[in-house]
Amino acid sequence: MYAVIESGGKQHRVTPGEDVAMEKLAGEVGDTVSFGKVLLTSDGDNVNIGKPYLENAAVEGHITHHDRQRKIIVFKYKKRKNYRRKRGHRQYFTLVRIDNIKA
């Protein structure tokens, strides 16, 4: 069984027992989270598609880790103009373990 959820402006395909890295969520490690914006669920035979979201469907999980991703470099450059700007940042993320899919 799997579901497609929306969180942080992105869509994630999740299955029970899977760890998913998503945009930073409010909460402490061990807190339970519920995702109500479920776009699609499938149990192998039946596929339910929402318009845009499914009613009475939710995905539950718990927060296992907060961290930051690897540094990415943002480099702006214009040839022959002596224009160079180098910046970088590390994006925050939350690791969520998916416990249950309620269809």
Given a contact cutoff of 8 angstroms between Cβ atoms, the answer to whether 28 and 18 are in contact is no
pLDDT of residue 103: 84
For range 45-62, the mean pLDDT? 95
Tens digit of pLDDT for each residue in 3-23?
Answer: 999 999 999 999 999 999 999
Tell me which amino acid residue 7 is: S
pLDDT for residue 28 is more than 90:
yes
| 91: its two tokens | 């994006």
pLDDT of residue 95: 98
Closest C-alpha among 70, 55, 54, 56 to residue 21: 70
Given a contact cutoff of 8 angstroms between Cβ atoms, the answer to whether 89 and 72 are in contact is yes
Given a contact cutoff of 8 angstroms between Cβ atoms, the answer to whether 2 and 17 are in contact is no
Q: Against a cut of 0.95, is the pTM above it?
A: no
For range 17-34, the mean pLDDT? 96
Tens digit of pLDDT for each residue in 85-94?
Answer: 999 999 999 9
Q: For the chain, what's the residue count?
A: 103
Kindly compute the dihedral angle of the four CA atoms of residues 74, 78, 82, 85, in this order, to the nearest 10 degrees: -10
For range 43-72, the mean pLDDT? 95
